[in-house]
Every structure is written in structure tokens, then in C-alpha cells.
């Protein structure tokens, strides 16, 4: 991995009755995002116990790669849908790698 790897979990909670719409919108991001030069990992998860909550696990070649992703048309299309799909603001949880002692 790269020294400046940026790993995050995006937490997205669907509005009532919008889980399938949110899931479809997130699925549409996966393939084009994985093709981005700065993307190291991009995987979608739906919580079993709370199916209206999704986690997107992401790793980037640094903040610049994430910033570039946010400006691309496929992500901007998702941004335009967020108000109608999300019950609360998108939460980004930044992660630090912990190596064995």
C-alpha cells in the first residue's frame, strides 16, 4: 500500500421507503469508481440487522485522489440524489491502519 493511503468508511442511511433506491444509486458508483486511477478499494455493504444503512469501504491514493473522485460526473450524479435518498447527512469515518506490534 501507499504511504499516503486514505481509508474511509462512508455511512449512508436511507430515508424510509428509499433503501432500494439508495442501494441502486450506490451500486451505480461502484464500477466507474473502481476504474479511477486513484482508487485502491471501493466496496458496498448493507447492514443485515439495519438494511436501510449502507457502508461504502473506500481506499484512495491520498486526499487528492478522493478529491478528484468527488468532482467526477458519476459521483456528482449521486450528490444530486442525496437529499431525496438520505435520512441524514453522509458520514465519513476516516481510518488509520494499525500494524502488528
- What confidence tens digit (pLDDT) does each residue in 12-66 have? 999 999 999 999 999 999 999 999 999 999 999 999 999 999 999 999 999 999 9
φ, ψ dihedrals at 99, nearest 5°: -90, 160
Q: Please state the separation of Cα 49 from the chain's center in Å.
A: 20
Nearest of 31, 5, 1, 9 to residue 90 by alpha carbon: 9
Q: What's the pTM value of the predicted model, to 2 decimals?
A: 0.92
Q: Given pLDDT bands bounded at 50, 70 and 90, which one contains residue 80? A: very high
Amino acid at each position: 500500500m501507499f504511504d499516503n493511503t486514505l481509508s474511509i468508511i462512508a455511512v449512508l442511511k436511507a430515508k424510509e421507503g428509499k433503501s432500494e433506491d439508495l442501494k441502486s444509486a450506490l451500486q451505480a458508483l461502484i464500477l466507474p469508481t473502481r476504474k479511477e486511477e486513484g482508487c485502491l478499494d471501493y466496496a458496498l455493504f448493507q447492514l443485515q440487522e439495519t438494511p436501510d444503512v449502507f457502508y461504502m469501504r473506500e481506499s484512495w491514493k491520498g486526499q487528492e485522489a478522493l478529491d478528484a473522485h468527488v468532482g467526477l460526473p458519476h459521483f456528482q450524479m449521486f450528490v444530486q440524489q442525496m437529499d431525496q435518498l438520505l435520512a441524514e447527512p453522509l458520514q465519513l469515518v476516516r481510518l488509520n491502519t494499525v500494524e502488528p506490534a
